[in-house]
Amino acid sequence: MSLLDPVAVSKLETMLVRARVIVEGALSGLHRARLHGSSVEFSEHKEYAPGDEVRHIDWKAYGKLDRYYVKQFEQESELTAHLVLDATGSMAYRGDGLSKVAYASHLLAALAYLLIRQRDRVGLTVFGAGDLRYVPPRARTSHLHDLLGVLDEVTAAGASGADPIGPVLERVAELTRRRRGLVVVASDLFDRRGDALAMLRRLRARGHDVAVFQTLDPHELSLPFSGLTIFEDLESGAELLAEPDAIRTRYRRELNRFVAGVRRECVTGGVEHHLVSTAQPLERSLLDFLMPRVRAAAGGTA
């Protein structure tokens, strides 16, 4: 699979084109992952070709044949998905590539594209800087344009008045209480109140399929700076003057402990956790999300 740099993807003309490119790249990756199974032919299917509707792909057939087949007829799905994007101040951080919020926006846009092409209902919540935007779930093609328009305009901002993620997820839980479905959150999970993970677990306990893309910049993962540096907390605005070489080992240890703790809380609560770096190709991140679902649909493992 020829992977595109996230910055290159972001320069494509429209969010719709970017989302399609990411999805097609992920589907190509699935094809090369080779989920093994028996050899069966389907007279009511045809082999997938670029331009065919993604929603018509028969994932069970793919798992058996390691090739995409498109169903001639398919019953419409009743899945309702809710996407949640963190646009608080810390998500504005940008190292050498896309900002965290831009990366997360593109990833959720690709997921929305894939789901709506499958005739699933998709809703969106964007929160940050005291502003919360909610788009109710629908499955129409025109709704996809609405969702992508919102995601294309998102910028992370504002230390003051930023919404903590826990109460936002509580609202999502209230909005989705009558219909179980898929909840996908993209956030760095820099949550001072500490209730985000509890709410993710609560959503899972209510029967939702819950996944989180914990989105971090490579600079946050490695602290590659040298020389006396001013570090700014993008949530609170606080600043720290420090020598990176003097704090790097402790910083990495604490960050690794934080990420491991998040992953552990997610796994024990049945929440799917994906740590994504903004340097990672977007189609790779989407592929990591899709792969276990394709395996489950095929009734086995790779």
pLDDT in tens, 36-45: 232 333 335 5
The predicted pLDDT at position 39 comes to 31
C-beta of residue 122 within 8 angstroms of C-beta of residue 143: yes
Total-model pTM: 0.80
The predicted pLDDT at position 288 comes to 92
In the predicted model, is pLDDT for residue 99 greater than 90?
yes
Range with lowest mean pLDDT among 41-55, 89-103, 197-211, 246-260: 41-55
pLDDT in tens, 24-68: 888 877 655 433 232 333 335 556 566 566 666 667 666 655 666
In the predicted model, is pLDDT for residue 98 greater than 60?
yes
Q: How far apart are the first and last CA of the chain?
A: 18
CA–CA distance, 19 with 106 (Å, rounded to integer):
7
C-beta of residue 84 within 8 angstroms of C-beta of residue 103: no
Kindly indicate the confidence band of residue 234, based on its pLDDT and cuts at 50, 70 and 90: low
Q: Which residue has the tokens 């934080």?
A: 258
Average pLDDT of the chain is 81
Domains and CATH numbers, the chain: 41-74 (no CATH), 80-299 (3.40.50.410)
Cβ-based burial of 251 (10 A; exposed 0-12, middle 13-18, buried ≥19):
middle
Beta bridge pairs of residue 81: 122, 182
The predicted pLDDT at position 156 comes to 75
C-beta of residue 98 within 8 angstroms of C-beta of residue 18: no
CA–CA distance, 220 with 276 (Å, rounded to integer):
12
Residue 193: DSSP 8-state: T
The predicted pLDDT at position 134 comes to 92
* Element spanning 93, H or E: none
The arithmetic mean of pLDDT across residues 58-87, rounded, is 70
The predicted pLDDT at position 70 comes to 64
* Element spanning 173, H or E: helix 165-175
Kindly indicate the confidence band of residue 171, based on its pLDDT and cuts at 50, 70 and 90: confident
Q: Which two tokens stand for residue 213?
A: 């893309």
Sign of CA dihedral 268, 271, 276, 280: positive
How would DSSP label each residue in 229-261? Answer: EEEE-TTT--EEEE-HHHHHHHHHHHHHHHHHH
In the predicted model, is pLDDT for residue 189 greater than 80?
yes
Neighbouring residues of 250: CB distance < 8 A, sequence distance ≥ 6 = none
The predicted pLDDT at position 51 comes to 59
The predicted pLDDT at position 86 comes to 94
